[in-house]
Structure 1
Amino acid sequence: MIDVRMGGIRIEQRIIQIKSPAQYNGWTMTQTWEHLLFLHWAVSPASIKGLIPEGLELDTYDGKAWISMIPFLLSGVRLRRMPSVPFTTTFPEINVRTYVKAKGKTGVFFLSLDTSNPLVIKIAKFWYRLPYYRAQMTFHHQGDRIDFTSRRLSSLPQSPMFEGSYQPLADRFLANEGTLMHWLTERYTLFCRCNRTKQMMYADVVHEPWQLQETVFHIRENSMTENLSIPLTDSPHLALYSRGVQSLIWPIRSLADLSSDRGG
């Protein structure tokens, strides 16, 4: 079930569109990510090292590994030179990720992605080898407050769940290079592993820099990492909001292809 309702006071912030998209070659998909809540927890590297596949190295900041949980609204899914994908107009998603590097290239590794759209799950699993799960979700936007719920549809005794609300505060800003905020948010590569071949893969992503805001939030329930045995504090160490960006996504490539690349 999807509940997406827009009403109340109109937020004047705008989605940051790709500037001069014609300059980019080789991308295969575009998506727009809206109303993102970035929740970040510092954890010991030892607590999640076992979840990182061989071929990737855990990336740390000041000796700490980080787990991020990001509820948001996904829209505008479209393949290059094609109309929007049917039945994927607008729907909620929540992902759990950590930070990795390989051969000089830094990026993210998704531990789970939950959405209510079964077609997107099939596409993402086939094209990008991502660990997607189907969930029952709601996204309620009233004024500048967002209420978000997700419960994974699974046979586990306790399905991973998230329920909370959030809204932006203050003015937008860009994270300064070298800061923790920049390190956590300005990531332009996703790494994944093919379940069939066990081969490590990666895909590049392009979007304009995140325009971030402070946020007020309330988490009512969060069991998204319990099945991964990742201990998280009740409150994240850092929380941020972004109205969103348009993104371009390249096809996945073998990690072996990075041997001649210069990472970034």
Structure 2
Amino acid sequence: MDITKHKDHRPWKMPNQPWIMYQAWKDLLFIHWEIEVDEIKHLIPKGLEIDTFNGKAWIAVVPFMMRDVMPRYTFPVPWLSYFLELNVRTYVKLNNKAGVFFLSLEASNPIAVKIARKLFYLPYMDANMSVNKENGYFNYYSKRTHKNEPKAEFEVKYKPISDIITYKPDSIESWLTERYCLYSVNQKGQIYIGEIHHKKWNLQEAECQIITNTMTLCHGIKTPKTEPLLHYSKNIEVVVWYPSPIS
């Protein structure tokens, strides 16, 4: 099914250029915390504005499985198309386009890490990662191994606990997840926008037990003691455009 035919939910039109990559995100968990803007502003590049919901910034740790990653008009290959990913993200905007800004991204595939760093200017890092499913829970683990980067480790057990939920356009669920671009910065400080497209998220309520988490601490952010906001998604198909520099 061509997911680009489903576009009524988008906040702006898709790019005129053809997309370049397809990927599927499987068994994904959003772990969100509300934080003060001052806690994160030092991590946001000049030119990007922190996006807020009711005056608060948000940060998320997101573990999932990458599947069927492939350039357009090709097929999945075992050594590139299947790997685990864990990202730390927050929310920004530029020229009224609300998007995602990644503080870090771990991946279990070194080739994918090199490609993403070079072509998409994203701070991907090598990590030893594993996942298995036991008694209905996903057991997910990641330990960073990337050279010359701060140590970071994450371990969580999680599962969905509801059917797919309904959420309105002005809800926190929509604000956190319905974002159709990401921003990145190259070594010279040039900001890039990377457009993406997918159907509206199918979200479920979730529960989790965080066993180890230093993913935000390595960025100087201590997550609040309050319970995080949790959402699970079984599967979402995504197409990606090549990033464009912001003039």
Q: TM-score, normalised by structure 1?
A: 0.85
Provide the residue aligned with 1:82 in structure 2. Answer: 74
Gaps of 5+ in 1: 1-15, 257-264
Is residue 135 from structure 1 mapped to residue 142 from structure 2 by the alignment?
Answer: no
Q: Percent identity?
A: 37
The partner residue of 1:209 within 180, 184, 200 is 200
Find the aligned partners of 1:156 and 1:163 in 2 and give their Cα distance.
22
The partner residue of 1:56 within 41, 48, 55 is 48
Contact 1:75 1:88 in 2 (8 A): no
Q: Map 1:98-117 onto structure 2 (within 5 A).
A: 98-117=90-109
Provide the residue aligned with 1:67 in structure 2. Answer: 59
Contact 1:174 1:210 in 2 (8 A): no
Is residue 243 from structure 1 mapped to residue 234 from structure 2 by the alignment?
Answer: yes
Greater mean alpha carbon deviation, residues 30-39 or residues 145-154:
145-154
Gaps of 5+ in 2: 7-13
Q: TM-score, normalised by structure 2?
A: 0.91
**Could you tell me how far 1:235 is from its partner in structure 2?**
5.2
Greater mean alpha carbon deviation, residues 139-148 or residues 73-82:
139-148
Any idea what the Cα deviations from partners look like across 1:78-115, whole Å, max 9, x if unmatched?
10112224502322110000000001111000000001
Note the aligned Cα RMSD (angstroms).
2.1
The partner residue of 1:218 within 193, 209, 212 is 209
Find the aligned partners of 1:159 and 1:76 in 2 and give their Cα distance.
29
Poorly superposed stretches of 4+, deviation over 4 Å = 154-158
Aligned length: 239
Find the aligned partners of 2:245 and 2:59 in 1 and give their Cα distance.
25
Is residue 232 from structure 1 mapped to residue 223 from structure 2 by the alignment?
Answer: yes
Contact 1:130 1:192 in 2 (8 A): yes
Find the aligned partners of 2:233 and 2:65 in 1 and give their Cα distance.
11
Give 1:251's aligned amino acid: Y
Provide the residue aligned with 1:171 in structure 2. Answer: 163
